[in-house]
Structure 1
Amino acid sequence: MAMSSILNADDIKKALDAFAAAESFDHKKFFDMLGLKSKSSDDVKKVFTALDADNSGFIEEEELKFVLKSFSKNARDLTDKETKAFIKAADMDGDGKIGIEAFFRNVGPC
């Protein structure tokens, strides 16, 4: 599923451009720029499902490395430092992966 079918293409471009430089990624700001807080729970769930490339029900560290490419094939990979910071911030139970509940708490509607 293309992210542009869920999110505004201009918002995606602006968010990707804002974090194009290595070591600049901030997951909360990125997802805020995408407008996820104003999206329905169903739309946020669709984004989560798209990021969960292996359909495990979790977004693991290996999937997070390529999170920006889920929004555009030309986007950069996250650095190891950025990936680990994202996991640390969003992993609620310390299992090294992000479940749907943690995703909602970190990026979804209030």
Structure 2
Amino acid sequence: MAMNSILNPDDIKKALDAFRAVDSFDHKRFFEMVGLKAKPADDVKKAFHVLDADNSGFIEEEELRFVLKHFGKDGRDLTDKETKAFLQAADKDGDGKIGAEEFAALVRE
């Protein structure tokens, strides 16, 4: 499944364009811009599964680095700083990875 089957491709493009600059990524603003924040829980869960590239049931730090590429082929890699900030914001139980419920809570922030 691709993100453009869950979200509006124009919204995805606008959000990716807004975060082109290095160290500009803001997960709250991004999820709002792509329209994920307004989607029902089922769609948020589908997005989680797209981002969980290895199907482990978690989004690990290495998968987070490439999160924007899952939204569009022209998405950039997150920097180490952005990746760590994203993980820290979502990883409420401190296990070093993001579970489906943690992701859903992050999207709803």
3-state SS, counterpart of residue 98 of structure 1: strand
How far did residue 102 of structure 1 move?
0.7
Q: Provide the rounded CA distance (Å) in 1 between the counterparts of 2:95 and 2:81.
A: 18
2:93 is aligned with what amino acid? D
The two structures have a TM-score, normalised by structure 1, of 0.95
Identity of aligned residues (%): 73
How far did residue 80 of structure 1 move?
0.4
- Counterpart of 1:10? 10
For structure 2, list consecutive stretches of 5 or more residues without a partner in the other structure. none
- Counterpart of 2:19? 19
CA root-mean-square deviation: 1.0
Between 1:48-57 and 1:27-36, the stretch displaced more is 27-36
1:12 is aligned with what amino acid? I
- Counterpart of 2:78? 78
- Counterpart of 1:41? 41
- Counterpart of 2:104? 104
Instruction: List structure 1 segments (4+ residues) > 2 angstroms apart after TM superposition.
Output: none
- Counterpart of 2:52? 52
Q: Provide the rounded CA distance (Å) in 2 between the counterparts of 1:7 and 1:47.
A: 9
How far did residue 101 of structure 1 move?
0.8
How far did residue 36 of structure 1 move?
1.4
Alignment coverage as a number of residue pairs? 109
How far did residue 88 of structure 1 move?
0.6
How far did residue 37 of structure 1 move?
2.0
- Counterpart of 2:87? 87
- Counterpart of 1:65? 65
Between 1:2-11 and 1:34-43, the stretch displaced more is 34-43
How far did residue 74 of structure 1 move?
1.7
